[in-house]
Amino acid sequence: MQPIIRRRLLMICVAAGVSLALAYGFMPKPVPVDTVRAARAPMQVTIDEEGKTRVRDRFIISAPVSGYMRRVDLKVGDAVQKGQAVAVLEPLRSGVLDARSRAEAEAAAAAAEAAVAAADERARAAAADADYARKNIARQKKLYEAGYIARDLFEQADAEAARTGATLLSAEAAARTARAELQRARASLRYSAAEGSSDRRHTVVITSPAGGNLLKLQKESEGTVNAGEPLIDVGDPAKLEARVEVLSSDAVSIRPGTKVLLERWGGDSPLTGTVRVVEPAAFTKISSLGVEEQRVFVIADITSVPEEWKRLGDGYRVEAKFIIWEGADVLQVPASALFRKGDDWAVFTKENGRARLRQLQTGKRNGRSAEVLSGLAEGAEVIIHPDDTVRDNVRVKLRR
């Protein structure tokens, strides 16, 4: 009987061990979680957007008239004084005559010379007629006064003198016109660009309307420019401002005087500034995802000490953080711990190795944290990024 009892006891132990192993295998295991304690700390609600710096007062100097601009000697970055000459415009250069055009111009000049000679001859003939008419009227006057000729003959001689005088004036005017036509015909030959005889004495000097530095050369080399064409940008790089594109839905929360931090501009610490203008008109912009957005330009003045940002220049990229709300001592939890429970917000806390559901009343939120108004005590261990395996009263353990 002794061996039989031992075998039964052994079988009972094996069965109990298997039962315990199965029970342990089917027991729910603790869910690994990450936790953060709810704590009081300073909190800010910001609107973050990218922007660019720009010179506050920028002057774009344009060509007042069409002309041929000489090469600009100034370089980008050079200091410019108010009233300093920055560009010079010469009269437009004449075109180059091809073989046919030159032949036509030479023929026109020869014809004009012949016309001048003919006009001069007509003028000399008219002068001779006028001289004879003056002498004739003098003789006719003496005969009329002595009573040897009739009055009608005297009046005819007087009219003839007047006619020949008018003919002389007309001939002289025609001669002057012919000489002017000759000068015009010769001008197309004299002022051809191929002759290099264009008049460069009469120039237009363009001056700077303000002092500062040369920011951009729209056109450096010499060449023809049109009236109104931009040539040079002038401004003071020591007077910078930030221009930021903000969504119109966010712009309504920004007001003149709002604090702004300018980050990732290249320096070791953020720059401070204040909003000066929120432009009243929005514009449509297509985002990188192809979505139409209504955006507004917000202009901010840099209030940091100039020595801190003297390396900044016009058109430099910055990241602007507009502070629309801030608190010095705010109870807060990570935004990643929150989830919806009906119409309210809730979190899971870790208490005595188990997850506990806590409904909260939240206040201000930013992209990282949320203000806790009620429902959670300071120092509570909050589970972040809870998944579907985390439920109320479920055993949890810290993830290693």
User: What CATH code is carried by the domain that includes residue 279?
Assistant: 2.40.30.170
Domain limit, last residue, from 170, 195, 220:
195
What is residue 28's predicted lDDT score, i.e. its pLDDT? 65
| Same domain (yes/no): 132, 188 | yes
What is residue 169's predicted lDDT score, i.e. its pLDDT? 84
How far is C-alpha 97 from the chain's CA centre?
42
| Same domain (yes/no): 204, 303 | no
Q: How many domains does the chain have?
A: 3
Give the DSSP H or E segment for 385.
Answer: none
Residue 345: give the domain boundaries. 30-56+236-400
- CA-CA distance, 58 to 52, in Å (whole number)? 15
Six-digit token pair at 159?
Answer: 């009219």
| Same domain (yes/no): 68, 140 | no
For the chain of 400 residues, list the mean pLDDT of each consecutive stretch of 10.
Answer: 68 69 63 91 93 93 91 91 91 72 74 81 82 80 76 77 81 82 75 56 87 90 90 91 95 94 92 95 90 95 91 92 93 92 91 91 90 92 91 87
**Strand ranges (E), 65-145:** 67-69, 79-80, 85-90
What is residue 126's predicted lDDT score, i.e. its pLDDT? 80
Six-digit token pair at 289?
Answer: 């995802």
Is residue 45 within 8 Å of 324, Cβ to Cβ?
yes
Is residue 177 within 8 Å of 37, Cβ to Cβ?
no
| Same domain (yes/no): 271, 350 | yes
What is residue 281's predicted lDDT score, i.e. its pLDDT? 94
| Same domain (yes/no): 175, 208 | no
What is residue 135's predicted lDDT score, i.e. its pLDDT? 83
Considering Cα of 36, then 41, then 46, then 52, what sign does the dihedral take? negative
Is residue 317 within 8 Å of 354, Cβ to Cβ?
no
What is residue 185's predicted lDDT score, i.e. its pLDDT? 75
What is residue 116's predicted lDDT score, i.e. its pLDDT? 80
| Same domain (yes/no): 245, 333 | yes
What is residue 384's predicted lDDT score, i.e. its pLDDT? 93
Task: Please check whether residue 41 lies inside any domain of the structure.
Answer: yes
Domain limit, last residue, from 143, 168, 195:
195
| Same domain (yes/no): 146, 125 | yes
| Same domain (yes/no): 285, 186 | no
- CA-CA distance, 300 to 321, in Å (whole number)? 11
Considering Cα of 152, then 154, then 157, then 159, what sign does the dihedral take? negative
